Structure 1
């Protein structure tokens, strides 16, 4: 009987100690890491005419003082005879947060065997801030100088083109609108203005959540380049229909 009482008292004390070590309101700390993986069908118009497969991976590591973001896109298409599209995009951005906004460093690289420019590398720095930041609506604005390297596509009139370098000013607006609990719309507008060339890119997407971490996404990327080689078009569009999975 005494042993049972001692055992009961010991269990009670152990329970109290456990509650003291782990408060009722305790929650596991957030890692700050988010990953998105999507893949699906692609329709191209402009310099590339094809229907093909595309993939996209986005990694974000967000903390109180900084935010790191990496984006990788891959496009590939072929018909019964040959490859008709092959393009890879890599974007890396690091934000250092301050009270009024953030300072950023950004690097981009594009390898496009069928585009007006087969190689395009851009590095930029600058300042960004939240113009609107609410649960339903978000708008970020960025501006800063940069440097760009580009290699035009070989043509019959220019079979061995020289690479071009240019100092640019990059301005970007990143908009996000939550339509309701399960769907959202995003639109990123970027303008890169240089002495030798300028380009404007609009990247839009509509996402609808199917399950907790799985969503259906429709995207459209439109890019206008002011100066392009002979025989190529100024406007390229990419339309995608993807399934997107989010890891948090």
Structure 2
């Protein structure tokens, strides 16, 4: 019987393909994930305006280590000029243990209109998971650190001195997968020092629109127990962003 030349050619092509790509081949795991978001913001407290914000986050999660880096930028202006200008840089490195992880982190804030114009915090410590399921995650971190804070200039103190002090930081991280396309996150951290105590609450709700695009609503509250004259103790930022995930 004469063979169809098309099937003969297909057989010759298929043999090297199966030799190079075995049937049980799987793509290598991608440990790097990136998020980019931008959108609208509403500020209350020491600033009262509406404008835009942006955020970029990189996460590299390997077998024994996890690296995270986040950059945030907030800018607002009205007819009188700039009303809000703030930049945040957050970095953390975790070394995984059989139970929990050892961490080292650094947070840097430059805030032109905040109660503190410059704040740098360095922390080391230990973290562990209280709950870790497919839908719910809750972890706790605790450790000592060092904080540098430059207060805002005031009429009574036009040349303030920076506060330099050791601190104790505790942080709780909560993540809830509501359903396949919706996630709720809540981070609560406290910094206890000799001259100032700080509480930071960061909430966000993310809903996937299609593929790698999502709509995200965020709320951040920062409370400082001791602030200069004319500054409010509590600052809040509410954001409405469009987010894209690379992974």
RMSD: 1.9
Alignment of 1:34-53 (within 5 A): 34-53=33-52
**Aligned partners of 2:10 and 2:106: how far apart in 1?**
59
Residue equivalent to 2:106 = 107
**Aligned partners of 2:80 and 2:223: how far apart in 1?**
30
Secondary structure of the corresponding residue to residue 210 of structure 1 = strand
Residue equivalent to 2:172 = 173
**Aligned partners of 1:100 and 1:14: how far apart in 2?**
51
1:13 CA drift (Å)? 7.2
TM-score, normalised to structure 1, is: 0.94
Alignment of 1:63-82 (within 5 A): 63-82=62-81
Secondary structure of the corresponding residue to residue 69 of structure 1 = strand
Residue equivalent to 1:235 = 234
1:114-134 superposed Cα distances (whole Å, 9 cap, x missing partner): 000000000000111111111
Residue equivalent to 1:125 = 124
TM-score, normalised to structure 2, is: 0.94
1:15 CA drift (Å)? 3.9
Residue equivalent to 2:31 = 32
Secondary structure of the corresponding residue to residue 114 of structure 2 = coil
1:69-110 superposed Cα distances (whole Å, 9 cap, x missing partner): 000100000011210100000000011111101111100100
Residue equivalent to 1:152 = 151
5+ residue gaps, structure 1, are none
Matched residues, number: 245
Give every structure 1 segment of 4 or more consecutive aligned residues whose post-TM-superposition deviation is greater than 3 Å. 10-18
5+ residue gaps, structure 2, are none
Secondary structure of the corresponding residue to residue 228 of structure 1 = coil
Residue equivalent to 1:56 = 55
**Aligned partners of 1:231 and 1:113: how far apart in 2?**
15
